[in-house]
């Protein structure tokens, strides 16, 4: 089985980093609960929205993300049985490309370079499973689509949902 | 129609750059004819082979490649009629990732980030045509495979071959 796994919000805690950087920049103490059901940049005051959107263009932002809980253990087991690929729509942020490669070297070294994909549209992927937090990626995938829960997609319906990596393990291992 | 186009040796003259850097490093005057039928690093003395292999790890190597003749015009026309993607097995060289993005911005700005793919294995690509100089990429592709002529593949048989971009235009436009 060929399994594609998105990076941001699926194996890497990008949302958490947005909040952390925002709190530091504006001396705030917002927590994840506050962002429930929306994009990080939608919930903050209008004059701070561009600042949050621009996090992704900052050098170091993607390099220092924390791994999402249990992703490493579950993907390690999955990759022993299946062909696991990391597929991130990273081409939008050229500054992120090398950082993402280094981040994978550090946290997912068992996924070799041959199994890493930095792309844009994901409907060009041929395989059996796609685990992603974005419905527009899942919608066009030909195989089984799993919506990985993130604060911004909690109200999205119409997809098979996984709330965390232990639920992925239940379904695929 | 979804068309995937490789970068090195197809739209970017990587082979020419290998020769140029080699000549500079070793004060030689080798030309393309000398390399006919082999990889650049196979034709030079044994104690210089690693040096040629390492070109790809040098910062700036991929940023400064010359575009292959007629690739820009033909791809521009193809992209007006079809969904054209650039697909490069660049993950092997993390230093190349941002350089390749910048190089595409400069020479192929009509291909947006959504249509750029930096990957490893190419059998994960779903589409109709793959234009590539590497038979191992073409072999596993489900669609029409076009072998783009490069010094290293002139003796490769068993594939539909295109010798240059004008021949691609004849076949696909």
Overall average pLDDT of the A74-87 stretch: 98
pLDDT at A135: 97
CB-CB under 8 Å, B102 with A114: no
Question: Does A6 share its domain with A20?
Answer: no
> B143-157: per-residue pLDDT in tens?
999 999 999 999 999
SS3 for A86? strand
Question: Does A78 share its domain with A118?
Answer: yes
Query: A73 lies in which domain range?
Result: 2-12+66-172
Confidence of residue B166 (pLDDT cuts 50, 70, 90): very high
Question: Does B114 share its domain with B30?
Answer: no
Structurally, how many domains does chain A consist of? 2
> B64-80: per-residue pLDDT in tens?
999 999 999 999 999 99
pLDDT at B3: 98
**Check: complex ipTM more than 0.90:** yes
Overall average pLDDT of the A9-27 stretch: 97
Nearest CB partner across the interface for B95, out of A94, A98, A123: A98
The domain that holds A148 is classified in CATH as 3.40.50.1000
Question: Does B24 share its domain with B7?
Answer: no
CB-CB under 8 Å, B91 with A118: yes
> Within a 13 Å sphere around the CA of A145, how many CA atoms are in the beta-carbon half?
18
**Interchain CB contact of B56 with A (< 8 Å):** no
Geometric angle at alpha carbon B115, from B84 and B81, rounded to 5°: 25
pLDDT at A39: 92
Question: Does A50 share its domain with A78?
Answer: no
Confidence of residue A77 (pLDDT cuts 50, 70, 90): very high
> Tokens 């021949």, residue?
B167
Q: What is the DSSP string of chain B?
A: -EEEE-SBTTTB-HHHHHHHHHHHHHT----HHHHTTS-GGGSS-HHHHHHHHGGGGSTTTTTTPPBPTTHHHHHHHHHHHSEEEEEE-GGG-TTHHHHHHHHHHHH-TTS-GGGEEE-S-STTB-SSEEEES-HHHHHT-SSEEEEE--GGGTT--SSEEE-SHHHHHHHH-
pLDDT at A75: 98
Nearest CB partner across the interface for B117, out of A4, A95, A124: A124
Overall average pLDDT of the B17-26 stretch: 96
Overall average pLDDT of the A17-21 stretch: 96
Catalytic residue check, A8: yes
């Amino acid at each position: 089985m060929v399994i594609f796994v998105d990076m941001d919000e699926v194996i890497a805690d990008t949302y958490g980093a947005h909040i952390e950087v925002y709190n530091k920049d504006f001396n705030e103490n917002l927590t994840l609960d506050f962002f429930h059901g929306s994009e990080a940049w939608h919930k903050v005051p209008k004059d701070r929205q561009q600042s949050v959107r621009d996090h992704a263009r900052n050098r170091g932002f993607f390099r220092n993300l924390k791994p999402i809980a249990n992703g490493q253990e579950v993907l390690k087991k999955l990759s022993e049985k299946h062909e696991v690929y990391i597929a991130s729509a990273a081409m939008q942020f050229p500054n992120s490309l090398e950082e993402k490669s280094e981040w994978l070297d550090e946290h997912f070294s068992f996924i070799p370079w041959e199994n890493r994909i930095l792309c844009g549209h994901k409907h060009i992927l041929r395989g059996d499973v796609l685990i992603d937090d974005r419905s527009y990626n899942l919608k066009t995938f030909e195989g089984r689509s799993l919506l990985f829960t993130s604060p911004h997609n909690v109200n999205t319906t119409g997809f098979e949902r996984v709330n965390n990596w232990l639920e992925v393990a239940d379904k695929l291992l």
